[in-house]
Structure 1
Amino acid sequence: MARIGIIGSEGRMGHALARAIEAAGHDNAGGVDQGGNAANLAEASDVLVDFSVPAALEGNLHAAIGAGRPILVGTTGLEERHHAAIDSAALAIPVLQTGNTSLGVTLLAHLVREAAAKLGPEWDIEIVEMHHRMKVDAPSGTALLLGEAAAAGRGIALTDNAERGRDGVTGARAQGAIGFASLRGGTVAGDHSVILAGEHERLTLSHVAEDRSIFAAGAVRGAAWLIGRGAGRYSMPQVLGL
């Protein structure tokens, strides 16, 4: 049984995490939200799970480092400076950062990487995602995760090959580009499709999240897996042994 502390406990994911911790037979060590004391929570926990906001990340990492506790970071909308902070924290403690904690999405990313590697750059890759109307960042963290998987399969950098927000006369599609389209509306928990379009044929790899409980369950599994690991930066594929 692990004592799991929730950062961002009052959000929708925070409530889902509390239920998932109980369902998995672990101990909810408590939670903090905006203005709360993450350092005290870290001391009371075996591992922290952070689904708060990017602005709070550095403080949460410092709290985990101070207590010598591993932390799973599921917060999306991260920028380069946040990833630099995670890299720094991973020198002292185990950190698992991911844009999606779903086990199904983790496997999907693995399949996307394999498909991109096998099919080659002559197959165009487009990533389409849809989320609820309240989501504030686009593309979603999951879409970017899938884009990174596709880029890794091709041995290229996503930052140099992504096409986002097409509008107007954009010209012909560049070979090897990885395109993104973001849809928002309703109460959609998360739909993602990776389309690989070749000459006269298409391959579509998709995942549909019917309830955010799947993300909570995956996060709890990942958090429990982190306990006892050495300092370093980890990922969900490692949790599944991929």
Structure 2
Amino acid sequence: MSRRRIAIAGAAGRMGRMLVEATLADAQAELVAAFDRSDSPFIGRDAAEFSGTPCGVSISGDARAAIASADCVIDFTRPEGTLAHLEIARELGRAMVIGTTGMSAEDKAAIARAGESVPVVFAPNMAVGVNAVFRLLEVAAQILNDGYDIEVIEAHHRHKVDAPSGTALRMGEIVARELGRDLNECAIYGREGVTGERRPETIGFSTVRGGDVIGDHTVLFAGIGERIEITHKSGGRMPYAQGSLRAAHFLASRARGLFDMQDVLGLR
């Protein structure tokens, strides 16, 4: 069986480097292209130089050429860059795995439209463990559906530019859905001053930014006399990269469609 040809967007960044490493370690994948912004100081350097073992693939500033050479592009960059890469992938008929967060409703609609032409996996978190937590939250919300206050607490490194994280929002969406609520109406994203008593139908979000925290997420169900916490803590970025490769392989047998990691893992 031929190996899956992979192009990595944002290859000079922290997540991009991890994606390069994961692709090189995957026996069923081949790193054929790595690209970044044309003004990146890393253009022309070996994509695996950071690991001390060059791979022979140089980081390019030509997104179109990079995407054209691949079967699937994996993108964890910024919304504006991801959407530009997605349009190229759509034009060229290439699959795409999107782990970028901070997408607006309009951005998500554009991704859904692209899925009508090419296969796309778009998920707020690619880690297998996080997606297991998503399923646990469904069960917990069904059981703890009365008398429990719900709070989502997340922490990330100082460089993260969006808040709350996409994973935290997805957790809130899952819990709200199982409780028959609309997160847009019941979410509370900050508290300050005299806020009054907590309204029982709300779902609160707390955000921490600092240091080099990769990503910690907790959903707290606080009842009378007990607290249930469902937590996932990331010790590194490799789980996200490995999940992304799993998604890229999943798309090999799809001609078009919009999927998420629940589809990839067979959890639907």
Q: What residue identity is the alignment partner of 2:34?
A: G
Q: Distance in 1 between matches of 2:149 and 2:251?
A: 36
- Hey, what does 1:194 align to over in structure 2? 219
Give 1:61-80 correspondences, 5 Å limit.
61-80=86-105
- Hey, what does 1:98 align to over in structure 2? 123
Q: Distance in 2 between matches of 1:89 and 1:50?
A: 15
For the pair shown, the structure with the greater C-alpha radius of gyration is: 2
Q: Does the 8 Å contact 2:214/2:235 carry over to 1? A: yes
- Hey, what does 1:42 align to over in structure 2? 67
- Hey, what does 1:167 align to over in structure 2? 192
Q: Does the 8 Å contact 1:13/1:212 carry over to 2? A: yes
Q: Distance in 2 between matches of 1:38 and 1:160?
A: 39
Report Cα offsets for 1:74-110 as digits up to 9, x if no partner. Answer: 0111111110111111111111111111100011011
Identity across matched positions, percent: 40
Choose from 3, 11, 23 the match for 1:9: 11
With normalisation by structure 2, the TM-score equals: 0.87
Q: Distance in 2 between matches of 1:155 and 1:39?
A: 43
Q: Distance in 2 between matches of 1:13 and 1:45?
A: 19
1:121 is displaced (CA, Å) by: 4.3
| Runs of 4+ with deviation above 2 angstroms | 35-39
Q: Distance in 2 between matches of 1:200 and 1:75?
A: 39
Q: What residue identity is the alignment partner of 2:156?
A: H
Choose from 110, 135, 140 the match for 2:160: 135
Q: Does the 8 Å contact 2:247/2:264 carry over to 1? A: yes
- Hey, what does 2:176 align to over in structure 1? 151
With normalisation by structure 1, the TM-score equals: 0.96
- Hey, what does 1:234 align to over in structure 2? 259
Choose from 22, 25, 37 the match for 2:24: 22
Give 1:193-212 correspondences, 5 Å limit.
193-212=218-237
Q: What residue identity is the alignment partner of 2:254?
A: R
Structure 1: which 5+ residue stretches go unaligned?
none
Q: Does the 8 Å contact 1:108/1:205 carry over to 2? A: yes
SS for the counterpart of 1:227 is: helix
Q: Does the 8 Å contact 2:22/2:241 carry over to 1? A: yes
**RMSD of aligned alpha carbons:** 1.2
Q: Distance in 2 between matches of 1:58 and 1:207?
A: 29
Q: Does the 8 Å contact 2:76/2:82 carry over to 1? A: no
Q: Paired residues, what number?
A: 242
Q: What residue identity is the alignment partner of 1:75?
A: T
Structure 2: which 5+ residue stretches go unaligned?
39-60
Q: Does the 8 Å contact 2:33/2:67 carry over to 1? A: no
SS for the counterpart of 2:253 is: coil
